[in-house]
Structure 1
């Protein structure tokens, strides 16, 4: 995919996701929906400018002035779309989270004989996303990056991912009736997230060895509650 085509796909995601999202309305003083084509184009340039800068600079070192200069947008105009630099990077995190979630929905339990294979595939797919776009991992795992403070969005995304895994498992297997499987999956998610965070902060990427460690730890924890071979649904 060419850089120009990639930028167009990213712009389309901005239009599809940010225009009507509740989070977008909280991040900016005005609604994200603009009737002006110029307004939409400027918003996209600011997000693309921030994304490009984050490829080579620490996020906490990037200012709103830097983004405006990269995007070729006057700072006075930028305030119509984002109140501050944190809002720009939160919008990028929002886009990244939605994109990651959509990609994970393509991993099907039917492709694996056991739940361990499905879980392993989910982790491998997640890390492949970060390999393809390093800014996604940086926005999630790096230190001193804007967080969803005072907003439930980050927690909502975590629960959506856990809900996705739970639904896929229940469609394919007969899960045990004891305990709360969703709680077990949330703990599993936290274990994986912790190991990925450690890997990124040590190596600025999710290494193969830490991917393996996350997979081993997640499966080992779930084996305390799930049988090695879950009965498949007919």
Structure 2
């Protein structure tokens, strides 16, 4: 009986994944190779990139590339993982006071930070919105969206006195998928996320969340106090806590 697509065992999946280094020299070489992949993807289609092109860009022997990346898709996955860690790092930024006026404004502010990150990294648009990184990258992005939905609810619940929401993980996962869907249209039409599509995504996500959230939710007292004292408001994200350290990207 033939295997269904995506039904490979753990050993096969490992072969498709980047080999993460443990020694300092390997960490430096790995980062340089991922940098090379980013440079290549900024100006080339993924179909035009192979392990030899990555080696040339990084100025290393092809064997050094193959040591870390058994396939070019593994190299794309390594770069995608760097970007996904970068999105996690955005949750550590101080929140603008204007973003704390309502849950709607906080969601819009968070989406603005993500939009700017995407537009600063053209290769991220290709890999995560264009879907050009291969199956493993799409799966990593899909799993990240599940965690990002949990993070969205965590941020709202940490900042505001959130009401009871039945199955918040599913509801906010859907919100993240709505966001991605609108931004994917923008990427396919314009090669970037435009201000128009940013606003369309904000409206779409807000409209969906209004199905289960009231129009106004009170800010938590600790944040009122910090704002009154002119202190920055920062939220430690669940994904960052789970990782144990600030993501580096």
**Common topology (TM > 0.5):** yes
CA deviation string 1:99-140 (max 9, x = no partner): 111113325486411100000001111111122222222221
Query: What count of residue pairs does the alignment treat as equivalent?
Result: 208
Residue 196 of structure 1, aligned match among 164, 183, 200: 183
* TM-aligned CA deviation for residue 48 of structure 1: 1.7
Corresponding residue of 2:136: 148
> 1: distance between equivalents of 2:183 and 2:168?
23
1:170-204 deviation per Cα after TM superposition (whole angstroms, max 9, x unaligned): 12222222522232211111110101111111111
Structure 1 unaligned regions, length at least 5: 1-22
Shift of 1:90: 0.3
Q: CA deviation at 1:93?
A: 0.3
**Length-normalised TM-score, structure 1:** 0.79
2:230 corresponds to which residue?
Answer: none
Structure 2 gap ranges (5+): 1-12, 222-249
**Equivalent position of 1:32 in the other structure:** 21
**Matching of residue 75 in structure 1 with residue 62 in structure 2:** yes
Task: Supply the RMSD in Å over aligned alpha carbons.
Answer: 2.5
Distance 2:217 2:94 in 1: 18
Q: Which has the higher contact order (CA 8 A, sep 6+)?
A: 2
Q: Aligned-pair distance for 1:144?
A: 3.1
Please name the residue that 1:126 is paired with: 114
TM-score, normalised via structure 2 length: 0.75
